[in-house]
């Protein structure tokens, strides 16, 4: 059964891209056929798997303008079982170009649904905003995974995201569900990290994933080599955490 997971949080720098590529690569290590869709003009997910701006012809941008071209935009990565529809910085323009079109939230859906059965997982990396790109992702997504950094105001940030999710579910994509919240960049020695973890455990008990991703330098180094962490240092704590997350995601079913 194939699953479409979107990785979203409008707050910047909370670990969306790190989670997208490393969850995807860990699922690929489990021999799941995985497609990453880079939906962020920063194109960090693309460079993070070794696809750089100069190599990008067809991209999420061209796919949004012509959904029937999605298959041509897929590129293989150095990790077996892992492919990507890369982003190019021109994706910023898509947001403006889509605004005036009818059913502007559904272009990515039109592009990806025909590919769905060819993959076990499609993982969409969203930009740090709740604009049209994230809405397009939410309209094709079946499950939302929310990376959360343990810091002050973390919960206030996801309140707005959950509100948007609720709206999308009522109006645009009734099939969408919450896969859960994954804590990222966790530092067990830091009292604030522990406090925020406990607060989230109390507020969203059914939504907090068991796997907690620690702060790990290997995770931040790997992208500069164009590799997910499993291709860079598979023995690191970071790789261990994302392999664990992949196992949890395979077993977990999303909640309402
Ligand atoms: N567990 C971790 N340990 C150490 N560094 C991390 C970890 N997770 C992410 N980082 C680093 O933190 C920074 C932000 O992470 P990332 O790019 O994944 O966030 P993002 O939510 O995608 O950001 P944006 O909102 O800009 O798209 C990056 O430099 C990344 O390498
Ligand atoms: Mg990102």
Supply the pLDDT for residue 256.
65
Q: Give yes or no for residue 10 CB within 6 A of ligand 1.
A: no
Query: What is the pairing mode between strands 143-149 and 121-125?
Result: unpaired
What ligand 1 atom has the least distance to the C-alpha of 14? 21
Q: Which residues pair with 143 in a beta bridge?
A: 5, 177
Please state the length of the chain. 256
Supply the pLDDT for residue 175.
95
CB burial of residue 130 (10 Å; 0-12, 13-18, 19+)? buried
Select from 108, 169, 119, 166 the least CA-distant residue to 3: 119
What ligand 1 atom has the least distance to the C-alpha of 18? 18
How many angstroms separate the alpha carbon of residue 114 from the centre of ligand 1? 31
Q: Give yes or no for residue 184 CB within 6 A of ligand 1.
A: yes
Supply the pLDDT for residue 140.
98
The per-residue pLDDT for range 39-51, each reduced to its tens digit, is: 999 999 999 999 9
Three-state SS annotation for 22-60: HHHHHHHHCCCCEEEEECCCCCHHHHHCCCCHHHCCCCH
Taken in order of first residue, the domains within the chain and their CATH numbers are 3-250 (3.40.50.300)
* Residue spans of the chain under pLDDT 50: none
How many angstroms separate the alpha carbon of residue 230 from the centre of ligand 1? 16
How many angstroms separate the alpha carbon of residue 5 from the centre of ligand 2? 15
């Amino acid at each position: 059964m194939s699953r479409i997971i979107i990785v979203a949080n409008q707050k910047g720098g909370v670990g969306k891209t790190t989670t997208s590529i490393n969850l995807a690569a860990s699922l690929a290590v489990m021999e799941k056929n995985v497609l990453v869709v880079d939906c962020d003009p920063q194109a960090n997910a693309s460079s993070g798997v070794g696809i750089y701006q100069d190599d990008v012809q067809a991209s999420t941008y061209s796919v949004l303008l012509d959904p029937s071209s999605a298959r041509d935009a897929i590129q293989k990565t150095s990790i077996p079982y892992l492919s990507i529809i890369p982003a190019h910085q021109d994706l910023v323009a898509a947001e403006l170009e889509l605004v005036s079109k009818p059913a502007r939230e559904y272009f990515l859906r039109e592009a990806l649904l025909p590919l769905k059965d060819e993959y076990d997982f499609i993982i969409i990396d969203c930009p740090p905003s709740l604009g049209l790109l994230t809405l397009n992702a939410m309209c094709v997504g079946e499950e939302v995974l929310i990376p959360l950094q343990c810091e002050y105001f973390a919960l206030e940030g996801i309140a707005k995201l959950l509100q948007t999710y609720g709206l999308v579910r009522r109006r645009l994509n009734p099939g969408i569900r919450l896969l859960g919240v994954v804590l990222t960049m966790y530092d067990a020695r830091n009292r604030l990290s522990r406090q925020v973890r406990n607060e989230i455990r109390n507020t969203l008990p059914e939504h907090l994933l068991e796997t907690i991703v620690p702060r790990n330098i290997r995770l931040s180094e790997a992208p500069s080599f164009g590799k997910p962490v499993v291709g860079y240092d598979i023995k690191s704590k970071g790789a261990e955490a994302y392999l664990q997350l992949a196992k949890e995601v395979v077993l977990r079913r999303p909640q309402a």
